[in-house]
Amino acid sequence: MLNIFSLVNGRLVQEEIDSLEDQAPQHPIWVDMESPTVLEKRWVKQHYGLAIPLDVMDEDIEESARFYEEDNGELHIRSDFLVDDDEEPRSVRVAFILNQHNTELKSCGVLFSIREEDIPVFRLLRMRARRAPGLIEDAKEVLLSLFDTDVEYSADTLEGIYDDLKKVSTQVLEGHVTDDHAQKVLADIAWQEDLNGRIRRNMLDTRRAVSFMMRSKMLNAEQFEDARQILRDIESLDSHTAFLFDKINFLMDATVGFININQNKIIKIFSVASVALLPPTLIASVYGMNFRLMPELEWEHGYIYALCLMIASAVVPMLYFRKRGWLK
C-alpha cells in the first residue's frame, strides 16, 4: 500500500492515488510503503527513479551495514520501531531512503519508507502533522520527527510498565501469595521484563540512527539541536529502563521467596508430623519385640494401655508444637 504525503500550508496532507496508472504528485516529501507489491515498487521506480534494494527488509543484515550513504547521494537507514501489542510486543524493521543531492531525479528531497506492517508511531506522526502546521518542513524533518515520536511512544510504554509493576508489587507485598497466584505474578513480571528489554534495545537502535544523521551533516542547525534533544531523551529513558529492571528483579526475588516460604511450610508440616509420630513408633517397636518376659503382654488391658500410651505420646508433642506456634 502506498501513502504519499505533501506539505500544504505547513500541514502534512495525504495525496489520493486511486490506481497505479495515475500520475505521481508533483512535490511530495514522504512516500510511505506498507508491504509494497512488485507493481508498487515498479511504479515508484518509474515515477521517482528510485530502485528499492532487494534486501531492503532483510532482518539478517549486519548492524554496521544498516546505516550508509550511496555514491549517488542516497541515504539508507534501517531502524526498528516498537509495537506495544497486548498479544505480542515486538520491534518492526523500517527501511528509509532519502535522496539529498541528485536533483536530476524526482526522488530528490523525498523520504521513502518501507515497512511490512502498520506501526503506531507512523499513525501518531501523521495525526500530529495534520493538526499542527509548521511541525514538518522537509523530508529530513519527517525522518527526525519519526524518531522523536518513537522515543515518546517508548516513554508512554515505560509508564504503562511501571503502572503494571505497581499493581504486581501491591499483590506481592501483601504477603498472601499462593503457588497459583505466584505463577501468574511471575508470568506478568516476565512479560514486563521482556517488554522493557525490547524498549531498551529499540532506544539503542534509535540512538544509532540519530547519531548517524548527525554525523552525515545532513541536518541544519535547528534540526541538529532537535537531534541532540532526542539523544538526551533517550539517555533519560535508559536510566528509567535500568530502574525498572531493578524493580523487576526485586519483585521476581520476592515472589520466588514467597514460593520458598510456602514450600517450607509444607516441609515443616511433614517434619512436625514425623517428630510427633516418633514416640508412638518407639512404643510400638518395643512391644513388637519377641521377648518371653514382657509383663504387659499378659495384662488383660495391655492392648488398650499400649494404644492410649501411643496416642498420648503423639498428642503431647503436638500440643507443645502448637503452643510454640510451629503449626501455623
Beta strands in the chain (DSSP E): 2-8, 11-15, 28-34, 67-69, 74-83, 90-99, 111-115
Q: How many CB atoms lie within 10 A of CB 28?
A: 23
Q: Nearest to residue 63, comparing CAs of 82, 73, 78? A: 78
Residue 272 is assigned to a structural domain of this protein = no
- Same domain? 161 vs 187: yes
Alpha carbons 152 and 144: distance in angstroms, whole number: 13
Residue 246 is assigned to a structural domain of this protein = yes
Residue 161 is assigned to a structural domain of this protein = yes
- Same domain? 105 vs 210: yes
Distances, alpha carbon 69 to alpha carbons 66, 129, 304, 309, in Å: 10, 27, 98, 93
- Same domain? 192 vs 311: no
Q: pLDDT tens string for the chain (328 positions)?
A: 788 888 777 777 777 666 656 655 667 888 888 888 888 888 888 877 777 777 666 665 565 667 887 777 788 888 889 888 877 888 888 989 888 776 776 777 888 888 888 899 988 888 888 777 777 788 888 889 999 999 999 999 999 989 988 888 888 877 677 777 788 888 888 888 999 999 999 999 899 989 988 888 888 888 899 999 999 999 999 999 999 999 888 888 888 888 887 778 788 788 888 888 888 888 888 877 777 777 777 777 778 888 888 888 888 888 888 887 777 6
- Same domain? 233 vs 320: no
Residue 138 is assigned to a structural domain of this protein = yes
Burial of 15 (0-12, 13-18, 19+ CB in 10 A): middle
Residue 36 is assigned to a structural domain of this protein = yes
What domain range is 97 assigned to? 2-261
Residues whose CB falls within 8 Å of the CB of residue 198, separated by 6 or more in sequence, listed in order: 82, 89, 90, 91
- Same domain? 229 vs 196: yes
- Same domain? 232 vs 284: no
Q: How many CB atoms lie within 10 A of CB 313?
A: 17
- Same domain? 191 vs 286: no
CATH number of the domain that 187 lies in?
3.30.460.20
Residues whose CB falls within 8 Å of the CB of residue 97, separated by 6 or more in sequence, listed in order: 50, 52, 56, 74, 75, 76, 107, 111, 112, 114
Residue 268 is assigned to a structural domain of this protein = no
Backbone phi, then psi, for 47, in 5-degree steps? -90, -30
Residue 266 is assigned to a structural domain of this protein = no
Say whether 13 sits in a helix, a strand or coil: strand
- Same domain? 12 vs 104: yes
User: Are residues 92 and 115 in contact, defined by beta-carbon separation less than 8 angstroms?
Assistant: yes
Type and span of the H or E element at 170:
helix 139-173
Alpha carbons 268 and 326: distance in angstroms, whole number: 8
Last residue of a domain, one of 229, 261, 293: 261
- Same domain? 257 vs 281: no
Residue 192 is assigned to a structural domain of this protein = yes
- Same domain? 132 vs 194: yes
How many domains does one find in the chain? 2
Distances, alpha carbon 117 to alpha carbons 85, 205, 206, 272, in Å: 13, 19, 19, 61
- Same domain? 200 vs 306: no
Query: Measured at the alpha carbon of residue 255, what is the angle toward residues 254 and 258, in degrees to the nearest 5?
Result: 90
- Same domain? 191 vs 255: yes
